[in-house]
Structure 1
Amino acid sequence: MNGVDLTLRTLHDDERDLEQDLLAAAERHRVEHEFHHVATDVARWSREHTTRLAALGRDRGLDLSGPREHPSPGALAALREKASQALGRRPQAGLLLLHDLRDLHLAAVRSSLHWEMLAQAAQATRDRDLLELVTACHPQTLRQMRWTNTMIKVLSPQLLVNA
């Protein structure tokens, strides 16, 4: 397995984790409607990325598992929703949201760096399939980064001062 294959595998895992982290944060902060809906929407991008990375991996002889299946709503989902409602708009919930945004931002940055590494390798080796994948997916990861960064900038002053 060469470096490109290892980076594909790492990026696949990173994107899968980012999707799950976005969905979990969206559930934790369900009462923050804008955050909940945007996080759910941008999680779909990471799910699409894992699907496309797995397809490219198969073409290269790599066995990358497909995207994780969403668990069916059950006791854990109900518990998360009740916890979200109980926290509501208390200061602790705001600090938790900032913590989650920080972690989501760092996860998106990590994925972005791997996309950039793959873009450089694709250009150097003239790998059109890889370059096409990076060109399609990396801008969405950059938008995930910008969204988390903007949310941190908007929320930090009020939440940190009033905590």
Structure 2
Amino acid sequence: MTKGPVRLDVAVGYAVPRKGIPAAASFRKWVAAALTGRIRQADLAIRIVGAKEGRALNRHYRGKDYATNVLSFPAELPEGLPDGVRLPLLGDLVICAPVVAREAREQGKPPNAHYAHLTVHGALHLLGWNHEDSREAECMEQLEREILARLGIADPYLDA
């Protein structure tokens, strides 16, 4: 664990109309909550996409032919980076707005709470957290619960 607030550079891009989607400041707050105490400095990008782009990315990178809620792309930094590239690059998150809206409706959750959960979840993936087996999943889910509770957001895994 590191001490003090994380220095963040979070770029948020919207490839879909903004209606019903949180502001960039909210995404930055959620990323900060996930990363504070775990890393000192981070640069990352979040792109909010539609179903077509979400599906294409999921198919290309994961071999799954459907749009998913969040994709995490950890940065792989080559040696000899060009001038002007700032470190540490943490990676990118892609959040599919129609999937998030549908899941929030189906699960009876406020959309902002679901966006917060998926942002925290994706940021933890960028740090190397995974849920490939039940032990990893349990640890990651507990960490997500703690981070979201500090933000005043209910346990996302209740009745999930």
Instruction: State whether TM-score is above 0.5.
Output: no
Give the helix-richer structure, 1 or 2.
1
Give the strand-richer structure, 1 or 2.
2
Rg (Cα) greater in structure: 1
Q: TM-score, normalised by structure 2?
A: 0.27
Q: TM-score, normalised by structure 1?
A: 0.26
